Amino acid sequence: MENRSNTEIQKHIISQLNVHPSVDPDEEVGRRVKFLCEYMEKSGQRTLVLGISGGVDSTVAGRLAQLAVERTRDQGGDARFVAMRLPYGEQKDEADARRALDYIAPDETLTVGIKGASDAMLASLEESGLEFGDEEHRDFVLGNIKARQRMVAQYAVAGARGGLVIGTDQGAEAVMGFFTKFGDGACDLTPLDGLNKRQVREIGRAIEAPSELIEKQPTADLESLSPQKTDESVFGISYDEIDDFLEGREVGETAYRTIFEAYFKTEHKRTLPLVPQ
Ligand SMILES: Nc1ncnc2c1ncn2[C@@H]1O[C@H](COP(=O)(O)OP(=O)(O)OC[C@H]2O[C@@H]([n+]3cccc(C(=O)O)c3)[C@H](O)[C@@H]2O)[C@@H](O)[C@H]1O
Ligand SMILES: Nc1ncnc2c1ncn2[C@@H]1O[C@H](COP(=O)(O)OP(=O)(O)OP(=O)(O)O)[C@@H](O)[C@H]1O
Ligand SMILES: [Mg+2]
């Protein structure tokens, strides 16, 4: 890749991530709901499971899941959506999570706190002698434990109910590798695949999600020392720049450099585990 121009590398990444410069939001809603319905039918797994954070991705993916189970039932089938609240203690944007649930109107909501299990794991690790560079490093590692604890909870529900875990990964998060490997990155179906952030928002508008959730600043909200830290402040570039990049537009040199570096560094997260050649 080293001798290739910014534009050539950009084209390669766009094709790998299957992102398109524009989408028809209504058509995408239909296509993605159909995908969920057809896979439930094919797999025989009739429950969809997804954590609802109060952010735009899980609001949109959650509503698509509820629409899919309702369509399946309308056609005489059997399907159910289980939304999960998975707070680590008291969540600062709890009101947004409640608003998302009111809007999604899931068949069922399970609330499972992840603080006890996450803190217990960290304590056991430290009792074993594991040390961290400093408090911030410790907090960062705990953040990934939280994301993986949410995965454990969702897969437990899927196991108990014969279900499938939905993931909220989309093109803008995928290009930056901005997810926890085998945490929120672990799932069975990704209905938002191939969309950039602005296209997720367009779909949100098409299904009449609350505008304050659609416009909300994205946050992983994993670090206790800096709650609600915005994704953009971590990236050092904006989602607008990432979206422009994914739509094939020219972006500034800093944006090219930041995106290429993140993309190639996190290649391992977008593939199956490596095997001997
Ligand atoms: N080259 C390589 N080939 C194969 N495997 C490699 C590897 N380099 C690291 N690894 C493995 O990957 C691990 C690092 O990956 P990982 O554990 O994911 O950890 P890491 O990428 O360091 O952290 C996850 C990042 O995603 C962010 N995040 C997480 C969850 C949700 C959201 C959100 O937007 O909501 C954002 C989070 O804030 C953090 O910045 C290493 O510990 C190692 O096990
Ligand atoms: N507190 C939480 N409760 C339940 N699920 C959560 C929580 N935090 C994260 N998740 C799950 O992890 C996923 C990844 O988080 P992420 O922040 O990327 O998405 P989001 O919060 O839905 O949207 P945004 O990226 O715009 O903040 C969420 O979509 C959700 O499924
Ligand atoms: Mg979030």
Ligand 2 centroid – CA 232 distance (Å): 15
The model's pTM? 0.98
Instruction: Tell me the per-residue pLDDT of 228-246, one tens digit each, with 9 for 90 and over.
Output: 999 999 999 999 999 999 9
pLDDT at 2 over 90: no
Instruction: Tell me the per-residue pLDDT of 97-118, one tens digit each, with 9 for 90 and over.
Output: 999 999 999 999 999 999 999 9
Best residue among 144, 175, 230, 242 to mutate for probing ligand 1's pocket (most ligand atoms within 8 Å of CB) is: 144
Token couple for 256: 């090219």
63 touches 203 (CB < 8 A): no
Tell whether ipTM is more than 0.95: yes
Residue 146: predicted pLDDT:
98
Q: Is 173 a catalytic residue?
A: yes
Residue 219: predicted pLDDT:
98
What is the average pLDDT value for the chain, to the nearest integer?
97
**Binding-site entries for deamido-NAD(+):** 148, 181, 188, 268-269
**Binding-site entries:** 51-58, 148, 168, 173, 181, 188, 197, 219, 268-269
Residue 277: predicted pLDDT:
86
* CATH hierarchy code of domain 23-227: 3.40.50.620
CA 100 to chain centre: 15
Instruction: Tell me the per-residue pLDDT of 243-276, one tens digit each, with 9 for 90 and over.
Output: 999 999 999 999 999 999 999 999 999 999 999 9
* Mean pLDDT value across residues 195-210: 98
**Environment class of 224 (CB within 10 Å of its CB; exposed 0-12, middle 13-18, buried 19+):** middle
